[in-house]
Amino acid sequence: MKVDKKHFKAAALFGYMVTVALLTLRPFAGAVMYEADYNFVLFASINNYMRHMQNFGMINYSAFCYFPGNPVLFAKNIFTISFINIWGNVALFVPMGVFMGMYFKKHKIIKALLGGLTMSTAIEIAQFIGLSSRRADVDDIILNVLGSLIGVSAYIGIIKLTGSEVADEN
């Protein structure tokens, strides 16, 4: 059975979007209470996380007590929450940028920006209105859009290096 590229890309995009929804809207394990504290101030959380990383670093050295006996707990605890929050939000949306690059032939960067902005804003609105025990934060939108732009830039760079394009005619 031959799977064509268009259906494979659509299935991959759908799987990615379901994964993002599960990672961002599913309540934390054991979370019963909903967050009542939201951040609507641009760069407030990013500044707090950057200050935290300046004081405590990116590595949680107490995680080394799990190494080498329990590699799962070690991997789960090795980075500080600040590092995970900033770079997790960026990394989560890199595939969005790649998909925008694959799906559109023209204006890839603008479409990646708009796609990342739309999806991230929808997630934060859902978190704000209480569909999740997660905390709505305007800085997450900034970090997610940055990830989307990194993804489309990487895609464009790879296309320029390899000379092959996989975009649909849009």
Give the other-Cβ count within 10 Å of 38's Cβ: 13
Residue 75 lies in a domain: yes
Domain span including residue 46: 41-162
Domain membership of residue 57 (yes or no) is: yes
d(CA 143, CA 102): 21
Does the pTM of the predicted model rise above 0.85?
yes
Whether residue 28 is contained in a domain is answered as no
Domain tally, the chain: 1
Q: State in Å, rounded, how far the first CA of the chain is from the last one.
A: 27
C-alpha to C-alpha distance for 100 and 149, rounded to whole angstroms: 10
> What is the residue-level pLDDT of the chain in tens, covering all 170 positions?
677 888 899 999 999 999 999 999 987 665 555 556 789 999 999 999 999 999 999 999 999 999 999 999 999 899 999 999 999 999 999 999 999 999 999 999 999 999 999 999 999 999 998 877 788 999 999 999 999 999 999 999 999 999 887 544 44
